[in-house]
Amino acid sequence: MAKEIKFSLLYRDMWQSSGKYVPKVAQLKQIAPVIIEMGCFDRVETNGGAFEQVNLLFGENPNKAVREWTAPFNKVGIQTHMLERGLNALRMNPVPEDVRELMYKVKAKQGTNIARSFCGLNDHRNLKGSVIGAKKGGMISQVALSITYSPVHTVEYYMGVVDKVVEYGCDEICLKDMAGIGRPAFLGRLTKAIKDKYPHIIVQYHGHSGPGFSVASMLEVARAGAEYIDVAMEPLSWGKIHPDVITIQAMLKDAGFKVKDINMDAYMEARRLTQTFIDDYLGYFIEPTNYHCSSLLVGCGLPGGMMGSMMADLKGFQGAINMSLRNQGKKEVSLNELAVMLFQEVEYVWPRLGYPPLVTPFSQYVKNTALMNLMHTLKGEPRWKTIDKDTMNMILGKTGTLPGTLAPEIVEIVKEKGLEFYTGNPQDAFPNELPRFIEEMKKEGWDRGKDDEELFEFAMHERQYRDYKSGIAKERFEKELEAAKEKAGAPKVITRPVVEVPAFDAAKVMELHPTAMPVQAVAKGKLIWQYNVSDDSTALAIGTPVKEGTPICYIQTYYGVEPVLAPKSGKVIQIEAAHNADVVVNQVLAFVE
């Protein structure tokens, strides 16, 4: 009898792998019956990751979105699953244990059946709380292995993680091939090893299309015993996203597997509706390059979703780099040459930083370090001159154990800075916080919500929740959408209070001020030129004194507010980007001397 392969539709990840926002709850409720009518899905990924932050940024209630989005699937027996980041849960930084435990109870009550939990370092200690919390909360625990390709990421390495999480009680394993660089034969061997040792454990494969391996990988894992395959659908399939269900269904059917038929009338209607959501407003925030595959991703292993911001980074640095090369009597480099050089530098940096799987946020750490190395080496300076705080915390082990061994030069940098390596359990460094949030909600007169869901949302996304409650978030989004529409159509000047920005020439600044240091964006988002994010009176200006390591401005990202720290003590001599401007990671914002 033919083995059945079941499909899960990644309707959340499709959007978040292509752009900044996801559909609003009214749109999700509109398409849910059509997805059901397609008849080919046993699971749908409905929430998790940045889903709830995005709803807060809309100024809408994410708890309402989760409940109403999962309800139609629950009614017909289609399982829903969410993605959470282990120690970081639903945000980009570590979460106290009591808040993590509450998350699973809330999500189960809201209608989410499966908790897909991953740790960017595959540290089983960070996953233990996820497994225990999910089971205690009434959810199916699915542990996701962050798949990458390196000498240390062997079948034996991953099975070591599997052994621990099965011991903790997980029900399923997901192969999370976030960059799509897992080699098909390897993934087949890993799947077989899991099924041979733990035949009762369900295996699900998740692979992005970026470098082009994922279709072959899906066939290999199916042959090796996997039960579920994650798929997408047009107009958001392929590119840096996921293969389309039509292709994968046809491939597996031809290979002799039992697969459900696709109601093509419903598929075309779901495709049409998705396109209307794009046309309505979501398309204004989709990065065009995310529709493209790239074999250049095979070597560096970076997630495809980073390509758009990476090219913007390089554009920001190209002028200063070429000025330095001219001063050295060397040939200038084109943008494409810089891109290849950056990929090569990532390949150099990655093993020396201990082979962290290139998934959020560790992919950003490795790429940022490589970019700074590239800038320094092209200027004739040594590597590793600039390592940001988050990367250093990863190096020190504060977020978990690195899979590989740090290079001697990295260990020496740690010693020179007088820092110490952390060997404790990462969760222990973040004490419980729920009592503080309970007390504040009581003081504010805020309802804790059904099943404590509002309490959870406040504790998980404190800053975004405050903005949602005050109405600032909705107002900010509406202005952002208005500006995006004007930019796409007939642009016009929008009057906003901004810091005056003199004409900017990075090369000239560096030539006139050789000791100046650039202030760079640490994330992609909206620039807020304020010392204190809640105080408009503290806007930065040329001549303002700053202190090394203290916030010089902020960036409003899709997941929250990120502070940008002064690289040295001194005063601001040049400002490049205006208040409320859209910026990207590593973009030069100002100079301090």
Same CATH topology for 6-288 and 506-592? Answer: no
Phi (first) and psi of residue 364, to 5 degrees: -65, -40
Residue ranges of the chain with per-residue pLDDT less than 70: 304-312, 490-513, 530-539, 558-560
Closest to 579 in 3D by CA, of 527, 501, 540: 527
Cα–Cα distance, 494 to 503 (Å, whole number): 19
Q: Where are the domains of the chain?
A: 6-288, 295-428, 506-592
Residue 583, beta-bridge partner list = 525
H helices of 77-175, where?
97-110, 124-137, 155-168
pLDDT recorded at residue 150: 93
In the CATH hierarchy, which fold is given to the domain comprising 6-288?
A: TIM Barrel (3.20.20)
pLDDT recorded at residue 301: 80
Amino acid letter for position 487:
K
| 551-557 vs 525-528, strand pairing mode | antiparallel
Closest to 139 in 3D by CA, of 93, 102, 175: 102
Cα–Cα distance, 384 to 407 (Å, whole number): 12
Cα–Cα distance, 65 to 45 (Å, whole number): 13
| 79-84 vs 41-48, strand pairing mode | parallel
Strand 551-557: give its sheet, edge to edge: 560-565, 551-557, 525-528, 582-583
Cα–Cα distance, 26 to 71 (Å, whole number): 13
The domain defined by 506-592 carries CATH number 3.40.640.10: no
pLDDT recorded at residue 476: 93
CA atoms in the 13 A half-sphere facing the CB of 581: 17
pLDDT recorded at residue 512: 63
Taking the CA atoms of residue 563, residue 566, residue 571 and residue 572 in that order, the dihedral angle to the nearest 10 degrees is: -60
pLDDT recorded at residue 39: 98
pTM of this prediction exceeds 0.75: yes
pLDDT recorded at residue 498: 38
Q: Tell me: the pLDDT tens digits for 416-429? A: 999 999 999 999 98
